[in-house]
Structure 1
């Protein structure tokens, strides 16, 4: 799977679940376009419909609300653009998008594209120091801008620091003003319960490869009373919201992984919480100056994703620490992106009130089905040496010359 002996980047992508692999291999033996009317086509159509029903069950949704996409990024694009265009076309004064500063770039970049190209105006909601939405401030912004809001968006759980957001509470506040809410649940799905019906959201994005399914397929859940303007056109597939030949093989794998994750969710979550809490305790013992970002959530109090650890390590670039850890056999990720060789601070930590140095000195470790106590021990053993070596390299932005740095992280 990875050159590193210990893989702690499951939030970026996780191991393909054997049940998903088996379902896909079985489907690969068959031919048929799900839109064709002959027997082979009808068979493929049944596979897609059964996958849709299974995925809907895991999300407490109706099967008709599941719109298959290529993944989380497309789902977020379809939701934001589709809601914005539909609501603006119905009322040209609705041009504002209520958004938090901790969203994934699939949301941020889409919203900023709408601002640059479609006349949208972004209204930013603040978050508290642990990365949770400031609900009181959000309520005031809803009250202030209600008549001009095309939509609001709030992720279910943050991809960097793991903070779980009050989506249902926020959606209820927005609904009182008639404002639809989109939520990116890509990190939450398969890690904690995600209930689309109870959330009150208009749309919700998920992705298969985060839960042990194949890369290249995801879903956007769209409430039955919600209208989206499509962003691609063709045969009118997926309730005329997402045209394109459906991938029955990927749908079968997605559904198999989703059902397996859903059935074992409670036990899986408990296992990850135990490993995560052990890692937090051991890391803070070994490196007292390291700071956990986001809620502590000791014991699993539904404040943080169970498999997420995100630390600031003072005095070193996150990218430097990533590379040293990789050389020592540990795969992790940073909260930074790299632009022209200069590490940039995490936008999530900046929104949480950290300064630029703190927001560059970060490392994210995310656990999954293959993570064991031995993996945590290997991390704890390697981390002090890796930290000291990364500190010797210093902070690139503090030096006169530009050093080559890494590429950040996915999701």
Structure 2
């Protein structure tokens, strides 16, 4: 049985091997019957919901011609409480400036079609497509688990990262407040924290973050993908608008919280031409540091992004993938450390030089010093034996 990734691969073969157009590629995908109806996925990023790659069977929706009157319901956001045994995730990646992180949620309602975290939903027996942005998991006991782990006598404080996998301030945070509870524990223990988000909801917690920032314990990075509202809405349907993100940078900066801007991801021929404009706008609103990450298409994300590209920008399909593959060794994605975040080759080199020149001109790079760790005080846990001294 053919799955969506095979179908998209066939579309590439039409466009690249046989010299066909992106329009032909789009017809190949359309004939597969894999797309979910517009009315069912309104406000969502992915257009398909393929079975997870670990599932023994795959399901395919198609019109059998019987014109049944039964209509499938729209994809609604469903949140399930998750009860993990630990909350701090460790990593030893040489590409990352942190070795520990917390993800309050699994899945993300923002619906960013390019999100590299989408394949993680396959471990839950769900799809990396529409399931990822509609079937969410909240770690309701995160603060309790964090308090327990920080109280471990062997724990050594280093900067904690929030927002490394899914956004800690996605819409459901308004109700569940898991991120807020985590910050309360980190403030109580004087534990350093760095946050990455594309949501204006982070301003709700300015009270905590500003107090921590005064002690050198907090910083925030706001992800700005594009200043083009149409492109931003298509790529990130439920995330804050570009103007609202810039205003969020301003509010954080005025509150004394060190704030940087993340250009993530840079997609060739889609938003990479906006690099200098985004940096200028972010700097004007108070951002004093910046970073960027090249578009990443691991596992199922490749098929999801290609379907999205054919749906929104069919005339750019061939060019976008051609340039991207020139930076990925001829593949959709290269997971090698050292190159997975920035790519390689002439075009990747050009992006790097443009970024260096623009940030140097603006004087960005002023908050690279590390957060303080010497103020950390382990929390007291109920039932824990007190120290004699």
Q: TM-score, normalised by structure 1?
A: 0.27
Q: TM-score, normalised by structure 2?
A: 0.28
Quick check: which one's helix share is greater?
Answer: 1
Structure scoring higher RCO (CA < 8 A, sep ≥ 6) equals 1
